[in-house]
Amino acid sequence: MRKFTLLAALAAVVGPAQAQDPWAGAQIVQVRLSSFDFDPHDIVLPAGRPMVLRLHNASGGGHNFAARDFFRAAQVRPADQVKVVNGAVEVRGGTTVDVALVPAAGRYRLRCTHTFHTALGMSGSILVR
Ligand SMILES: [Cu+2]
């Protein structure tokens, strides 16, 4: 009986928090990947606000959105954490990948780590303030 009461109390505490999706009204920030560019190149984001990074690869070949320190400092939505591997999100040609997160203030480096792509122009920055 005591166990049940405790569980019921826990459910009451956890219930409302789960019902509220913090990303429901999140701002969508689109970034276009192509050979060999990021558009925009220098991304500016508001700190501490939930947003959806919408990464669209407009080219036929694969690219990634590599920003290790940015993703490390951000709060990435649990369901999207598998999309960030070694600080990079892979985006296959012609596809779009959404990553919901709350960015942390700072200036971060952005690049594509595919061979030679950084040198060919796929580098930029992310400023969160
Ligand atoms: Cu690339």
Tell me what pLDDT residue 23 has: 79
- 15 versus 110: the higher-pLDDT residue is 110
Q: What is the CA(125)–ligand 1 centre distance, in A?
A: 15
Q: What is the CA(63)–ligand 1 centre distance, in A?
A: 4
Q: Measure Cα distances from 114 to 10, 48, 49, 127 in Å.
A: 47, 30, 30, 23
Tell me what pLDDT residue 1 has: 46
Q: What is the CA(66)–ligand 1 centre distance, in A?
A: 10
Question: At residue 54, does pLDDT exceed 80?
Answer: yes
Q: What is the pTM of this model?
A: 0.84
Q: What is the CA(110)–ligand 1 centre distance, in A?
A: 11
Question: At residue 15, does pLDDT exceed 50?
Answer: no
CATH number of 25-128: 2.60.40.420
What is the DSSP track for 23-50?
TTTPEEEEEEEETTEEESSEEEE-TT--
Q: What is the CA(3)–ligand 1 centre distance, in A?
A: 55
pLDDT band at 20 (very low <50, low <70, confident <90, very high): confident
Question: At residue 6, does pLDDT exceed 80?
Answer: no
pLDDT band at 3 (very low <50, low <70, confident <90, very high): low
Q: What is the CA(6)–ligand 1 centre distance, in A?
A: 52
pLDDT band at 84 (very low <50, low <70, confident <90, very high): very high
What is the DSSP track for 76-94?
E-GGGGGGEETTEEEE-TT
**Strand ranges across the sheet with 88-91:** 42-45, 123-128, 106-111, 63-66, 88-91, 84-85
Contacts of 40 (CB under 8 A, 6+ apart): 31, 124
The CA distance from 73 to 10, in Å, is 30
Longest dimension (CA), the chain: 67
